[in-house]
């Protein structure tokens, strides 16, 4: 099942609960616009290289479209289309006034020099500047991109349209960004993990957690849960997993990664395990925070955690999701679990539009408020309708987007 088909699968399940007509389903799932851009630059070697960039704008019924820009060698139109749709439902489930979009460039960011990354970013914006903007479509960081790329996007856009920091979020704090944006997705995952285990009657001090992925999201999640006295027993990155039954020293792991180019390779604070074995550990909470599609029909029956928090986008394939749900495993879906990033991006956009700076305390308080409200609504609907948390989250989101679409008028 392709990426967009997987989103359609979850959408249809929720639409069935809402008794949505086939015409309305087609309207809500069909992207508004899909753009493919040729990104040709001169590499540092002097060689001309052409990359393909994409921007899919899925829905704008509830406000400007919002979504990240990823640099990854496996990016294709189907993946970007699926992520754009997920952004529509993600912004709706946390009830912030955005629609959904996503962008990507098919390139291995690890093989690019600093100057090559800048040239690719600016050339891509040259190709899409007339279809983005603070009232139209607002990019943000994603896999392979970060604050620096966002600063280049703002600067390049301003060359065409004049000063407007609200065109992009995730910018450096010193360049019209907002404090707390870098930690936001991971912190949000941590907040929602505590909410979920609390609803299940568990105490954080007795909760064993395994986190696959120790990048921006996974590392901030681990730090937050460690501070909340959860026992984080396993973490991992591209070098593999690191496990200690009594709990890892997360501050030590963070210091090690920071001193080693954000890599855990060679870390001696835990026993080395594979990324695949980490998914099968005997823990209370499993948090996939790396790539999508890591839990499949082939390994789902080996997953022992009774609770999975989807910090990554689509880490569980639909057939595996069915297997796990039928076994009674609770899954907090990606459209809610990792929505902290887009929520704080909204705060940054609001700050940019108001020209009034927020401080870190305000960002964290508002993030907790928004995520708590969304979680309670999804949890209560799940209990009331006896559906999974994923289906409940899609039901909340689809209801909001559908209502806005009808109110605005379709003709």
Residues with catalytic annotation?
A: 102
Q: What tokens appear for 411 in the block?
A: 């003709």
Query: How do the residues of the chain divide into helix, strand and coil, expressed in percent and rounded to 5?
Result: 50, 20, 30
Residue 94: exposure state from Cβ atoms within 10 A (0-12, 13-18, ≥19): buried
The angle, 0 to 180 degrees and rounded to 10, between the axes of the packed helices 250-259 and 216-227 is 150
In degrees and rounded to multiples of 5, residue 96 shows phi and psi of: -105, 150
Q: How many residues does the chain have?
A: 411
Cα dihedral across residues 350, 61, 68, 6: positive or negative: positive
Q: Scan for tokens 């690719």, then name that residue.
A: 120
Rounded Cα gap, residues 196 and 170, in angstroms: 27
Q: What tokens appear for 353 in the block?
A: 């539009």
Rounded Cα gap, residues 383 and 264, in angstroms: 40
Q: What tokens appear for 156 in the block?
A: 């390049």
């Amino acid at each position: 099942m392709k990426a967009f088909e997987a989103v359609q699968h979850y959408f249809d399940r929720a639409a069935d609960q809402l008794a949505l007509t086939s015409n309305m389903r087609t309207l809500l799932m069909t992207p508004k616009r899909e753009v493919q851009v040729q990104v040709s630059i001169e590499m540092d070697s002097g060689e001309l290289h052409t990359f393909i960039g994409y921007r899919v704008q899925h829905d704008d019924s509830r406000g400007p479209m919002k979504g990240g820009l990823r640099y990854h060698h496996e990016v294709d139109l189907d993946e970007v289309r699926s992520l754009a749709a997920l952004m529509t439902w993600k912004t709706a489930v946390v009830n912030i006034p955005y629609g959904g979009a996503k962008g990507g460039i098919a390139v291995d960011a690890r093989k690019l020099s600093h100057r090559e990354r800048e040239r690719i970013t600016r050339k891509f914006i040259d190709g899409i500047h007339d279809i983005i903007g603070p009232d139209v479509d607002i990019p943000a960081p994603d896999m392979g991109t970060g604050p620096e790329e966002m600063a280049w996007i703002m600067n390049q856009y301003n060359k065409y349209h004049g000063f407007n920091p609200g065109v992009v979020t995730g910018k450096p704090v010193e360049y019209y960004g907002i404090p707390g944006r870098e930690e936001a997705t991971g912190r949000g995952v941590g907040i929602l993990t505590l909410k979920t285990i609390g609803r299940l009657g568990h105490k954080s001090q007795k909760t064993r957690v395994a986190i696959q992925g120790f990048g921006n999201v996974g590392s901030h999640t681990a730090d937050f849960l460690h501070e909340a006295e959860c026992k984080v027993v396993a973490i991992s990155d591209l070098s593999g997993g690191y496990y200690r039954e009594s709990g890892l020293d997360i501050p030590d792991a963070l210091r090690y990664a920071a001193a080693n180019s954000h890599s855990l390779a060679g870390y001696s604070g835990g026993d080395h395990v594979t990324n695949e074995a980490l998914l099968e550990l005997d823990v209370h909470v499993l948090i996939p925070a790396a790539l999508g599609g890591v839990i499949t029909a082939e390994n789902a029956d080996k997953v022992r955690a009774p609770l999975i928090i989807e910090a990554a986008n689509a880490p569980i394939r639909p057939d595996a999701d069915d297997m796990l749900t039928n076994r009674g495993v609770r899954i907090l879906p990606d459209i809610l679990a990792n929505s902290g990033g887009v929520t704080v991006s909204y705060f940054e956009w609001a700050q940019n539009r108001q020209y009034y700076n927020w401080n870190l305390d305000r960002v964290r308080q508002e993030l907790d408020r928004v995520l708590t409200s969304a979680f309670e609504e999804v949890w209560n609907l799940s209990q009331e309708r006896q559906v999974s948390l994923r289906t409940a989250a899609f039901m909340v989101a689809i209801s909001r987007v559908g209502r806005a679409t009808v109110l605005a008028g379709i003709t």
